């Protein structure tokens, strides 16, 4: 099967690395199309939970098709490796691009969040919860920093209507209170994460922060956040209202993806004139998250 891959694709430079995987650029020999090949070492991902996650990730990638979700084009399976042929996105991580650009408007933030919501609304409509929405998983298709693509379904879950999810997973800054309380949770966790991401997009730092994990979790459990000056002084009331309706402890009172898309801040496209001066804060946060707090698994 690896031979079949090499017959069709010419493997090129390495694009990135994960715990059990490496991503390489490849070119389709017939069409000349550039793709990304995620090569997963099955011998490394050999525990039952790793195998289950891998199986779910592939099942989800085969199932989903949306313009703001990185798409699976093909796969090749061998005893040693699994090769996922993925759509190539070339713009890098969203937050890196914002830091590089330096200037960013509230209108652009609204357009970006709208695309994230659109992809999440689609996932929820086909009973999939992403469960790990964070900056690292928001990639850009190309140069346009609002053309955001959702990636990495390693922690995603196909939801059974009769049972709630219980696994504590996700990344500390973005994890919803119901995940921490271990009472069972549903797809609303993704909307909480979008609230955190939106907050970050508008000021450059997260709403919940502490020196230790327990401090972060304590703030999350109470939705203990505010909009401090001078960072939030010029940001619209609609933007603050949007975030406040997502960062709600009671998951049932949180906006759904569909409702969030109808919120004035999203529907009317934010405020065109408000340029966000977040380069310094975002740069600081960006460098910290690269050596981020460990995942709670």
Q: Which residues contact 241 (CB under 8 A, 6 or more apart)?
A: 263, 264, 265
The percent of residues in the chain predicted with pLDDT above 90, rounded, is 40
Number of H helices, E strands in the chain: 11, 11
76 and 115 in a common domain: no
Domain enclosing residue 28, as ranges:
2-87
**Radius of gyration over every alpha carbon of the chain, rounded to an integer in angstroms:** 19
pLDDT of residue 8: 92
pLDDT at 159: 63
Q: Which of 71, 87, 103 finishes a domain? A: 87
Indicate the average pLDDT of the chain.
84
Residues 150 and 284 in one domain: yes
Q: Are residues 25 and 132 in the same domain?
A: no
The predicted structure's pLDDT at residue 10: 93
Q: What are the tens digits of pLDDT across the range 51-64? A: 777 888 888 899 89
The residue to which tokens 């090949």 are assigned: 37
Tell me what pLDDT residue 25 has: 94
Tell me whether residue 152 is in a domain. yes
Is residue 241 located within the same domain as residue 270?
yes
Nearest to 135 by CA among 297, 288, 296: 288
**pLDDT 10s digits, 142-176:** 877 678 999 887 767 666 544 444 444 445 788 88
Q: What is the pTM of this model?
A: 0.85
Number of domains in the chain: 2
Last residue of a domain, one of 62, 87, 112: 87
Phi and psi angles of residue 86, each rounded to the nearest 5 degrees, phi first = -110, 155
Residue 165 DSSP class: B
Please give the Cα distance from 227 to 205 (Å, whole number): 11
DSSP sequence for 194-253: HHHHHHHHHHSS-SS--SSHHHHHHHHHHT-----TTTTTTS-HHHHHHHHTTS-SSGGG
Residue 273 binned pLDDT confidence (cut-offs 50, 70, 90): low
265-269 average pLDDT score: 92
The pLDDT of residue 162 is 42
Quick check: is 132 catalytic?
Answer: yes
Pair (144, 282) in one structural domain:
yes
Task: Kindly name the residue from 96, 121, 132, 152 that is annotated as catalytic.
Answer: 132
**Which pLDDT score, from 0 to 100, does residue 151 have?**
86
Compute the C-alpha angle 182/155/64, nearest 5°: 125
């Amino acid at each position: 099967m690896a031979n079949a891959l090499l017959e069709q694709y010419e493997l090129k430079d390495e694009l990135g690395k994960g715990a059990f995987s490496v991503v390489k650029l490849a070119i389709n020999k017939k069409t000349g199309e550039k793709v990304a090949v995620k090569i997963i070492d099955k011998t490394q991902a050999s525990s039952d939970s790793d195998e289950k996650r891998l199986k779910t990730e592939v099942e989800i990638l085969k199932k989903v098709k949306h313009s703001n979700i990185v798409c699976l084009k093909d796969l090749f399976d061998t005893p040693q490796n699994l090769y996922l042929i993925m759509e190539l996105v070339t713009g890098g991580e969203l937050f890196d691009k914002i830091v590089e650009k330096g200037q960013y408007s509230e209108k652009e933030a609204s357009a970006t969040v709208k695309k994230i919501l659109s992809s999440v609304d689609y996932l929820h409509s086909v009973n999939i919860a992403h469960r790990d929405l964070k900056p690292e998983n928001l990639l850009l298709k190309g140069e346009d920093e609002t053309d955001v693509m959702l990636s990495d379904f390693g922690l995603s879950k196909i939801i059974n209507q009769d049972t709630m999810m219980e696994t504590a997973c996700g990344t500390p800054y973005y994890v919803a209170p119901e995940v921490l309380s271990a009472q069972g949770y549903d797809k609303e966790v993704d909307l909480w994460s979008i609230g955190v991401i939106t907050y970050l997009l508008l000021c450059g730092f997260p709403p919940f922060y502490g020196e230790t994990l327990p401090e972060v979790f304590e703030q999350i459990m109470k939705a203990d956040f505010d909009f401090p000056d001078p960072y939030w002084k010029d940001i619209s009331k609609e933007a603050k209202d949007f975030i406040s309706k997502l960062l709600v402890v009671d998951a049932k009172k949180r906006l759904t993806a569909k409702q969030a898309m109808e919120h004035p801040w999203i529907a009317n496209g934010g405020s065109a004139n408000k340029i966000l001066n977040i380069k310094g804060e975002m740069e600081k946060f960006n460098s910290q998250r690269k050596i981020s707090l460990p995942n709670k698994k």
